Amino acid sequence: MTVSRAFTIAGSDSGGGAGIQADLKTFQELGVFGMSAITAVTAQNTLGVQGVYPLSLDALKNQIDSVATDLKPAAIKTGMLFNAEMIQLVADRIQYYEWENIVVDPVMIAKGGQSLLQIEAVSALLTTLVPLAKVITPNIPEAEVLTGMEIQTIEDKKEAAKKLFNLGAKFVMIKGGHDITGEVVIDLLYDGNSFESFEGIRRETKHTHGTGCTFAAAITAELSKGKTVHEAVGTAKEFIQAAIDDQLGIGGGHGPTNHWAYRKKNLIFSS
Ligand SMILES: Nc1ncnc2c1ncn2[C@@H]1O[C@H](COP(=O)(O)OP(=O)(O)O)[C@@H](O)[C@H]1O
Ligand SMILES: Cc1ncc(COP(=O)(O)O)c(N)n1
């Protein structure tokens, strides 16, 4: 039996909705064997981030090498990388192992406002990791920081996508969750030639903790199966819409989405 294998390099979210936990749940739900390397442990729940505890560079390198040398992941996702040294290490390992299916989710700030990436690390992200990305998946505030431009209109999004493409990312996905208006939420994918919109139904909910991680993890899972980026993003969009629609309603703040919802929906439709 061939097993699709995906690897996440990210931070741990004790609350289970974002980070490593969201990634592994998403891999599992999409039928992919998941592996992880933890950059930092966060003490986190739906109310916010109570603490950030980065691991040593050695601990991170050792985890990546353990996975790489034995388990051979077919697609790799990066999430919270915390500082410039970790970004450089991850970029170095990606090149060393000649990995190509790299999904870079440039995590910077948690939904509660706490920083998950040191601001001086942004230039390392731009120069070392973005050029290695098959897909980069910034939300609007992240795209603004990465490009140094304000994003308000669809034309701004297109310009930002072009800038990130010119830095070497093969596909740029600018997510629309932070747009303030509209019944439709639009994620814009750019492949260097044309733009494709992936639309979802915008839900009025505060339970969107981990949506970015989950969406990027679903893209990674599908890439590990050999799907194209367009196919992978299509499935990821269905996955995240189902996860947001099927509210869990747990916790007193920004609650997690339901990672089981996509499989549940497909089970119902196929039975
Ligand atoms: N309120 C919402 N209703 C429906 N889809 C949403 C909503 N918020 C975010 N999404 C979707 O979730 C994914 C993550 O989006 P976004 O919130 O922009 O990223 P992040 O979690 O990194 O801030 C995207 O596919 C986006 O369209
Ligand atoms: C460890 C960790 N990684 C990432 C996020 C971002 O979450 P989101 O997907 O909601 O932007 C988070 N809150 N915690």
Q: 42 an active-site residue? A: no
Catalytic choice (15, 177, 212, 255): 212
Ligand 2 atom nearest residue 112's Cα = 13
Per-residue pLDDT reduced to its tens digit, 92-102: 999 999 999 99
In a mutational test of the pocket of ligand 2, which residue from 23, 55, 116 has the highest number of ligand atoms less than 8 Å from its CB? 116
> Which residue stretches of 97-228 are H helix?
122-124, 140-147, 154-166, 211-224
Q: How many domains does the chain have?
A: 1
pLDDT band at residue 271, thresholds of 50, 70 and 90?
Answer: low
Q: Whose CA is nearest to atom 6 of ligand 1?
A: 177
Active-site annotation holds for 111? no
Please report the pLDDT score of residue 267 as a whole number: 80
Q: How far apart are CA 261 and CA 249, in angstroms?
A: 13
177 among known catalytic residues: no
The stretch 254-259 carries a mean pLDDT of 96
Residues 6+ positions from 56 with CB-CB distance below 8 Å: none
88 is in which domain, residue-wise? 5-270
What pLDDT does residue 269 have? 64
Is-contact 14 251, C-beta < 8 A? Answer: no
pLDDT in tens, 233-247: 999 999 999 999 998
Mean pLDDT, rounded, for 75-80 = 98
Whether 88 has a pLDDT exceeding 60, the answer reads yes
Confidence grade of residue 266 (pLDDT, cut at 50, 70, 90): confident
Looking at residue 198, its amino acid is F
Tell which one of 26, 215, 245 to mutate to probe ligand 1, the residue whose CB is within 8 A of the most ligand atoms. 215
> Residue 205 — very low, low, confident or very high, per pLDDT cuts 50/70/90?
very high
The verdict on whether 208 is a catalytic residue reads yes
Residue 119's pLDDT is what? 86
Catalytic one of 25, 79, 134, 213: 213
Average pLDDT estimate for 25-47:
97
| Ligand 2 pocket check for 213: Cβ under 6 Å | yes
pLDDT score at 1: 76
In contact, 5 and 47? CB cutoff 8 Å: no
Rounded to whole angstroms, how far apart are CA atoms 132 and 139? 19
Comparing CA positions, the residue from 171, 176, 216 lying closest to residue 198 is 176
CA distance 55 to 176: 32
Mean pLDDT across the chain, nearest whole number? Answer: 95
ipTM: 0.98
Task: Please say if the pLDDT value at position 228 is more than 70.
Answer: yes
Closest C-alpha to ligand 1, atom 1: 203
30 ligand 2 Cβ < 6 A:
no
* CATH at residue 253: 3.40.1190.20
How much is the pTM?
0.97
Catalytic annotation present for 213: yes
Q: Provide the percentage of residues in the chain whose pLDDT is more than 70.
A: 99
Inter-helix orientation angle 261-270/229-245, to 10°: 100
Q: How far apart are CA 192 and CA 180, in angstroms?
A: 27
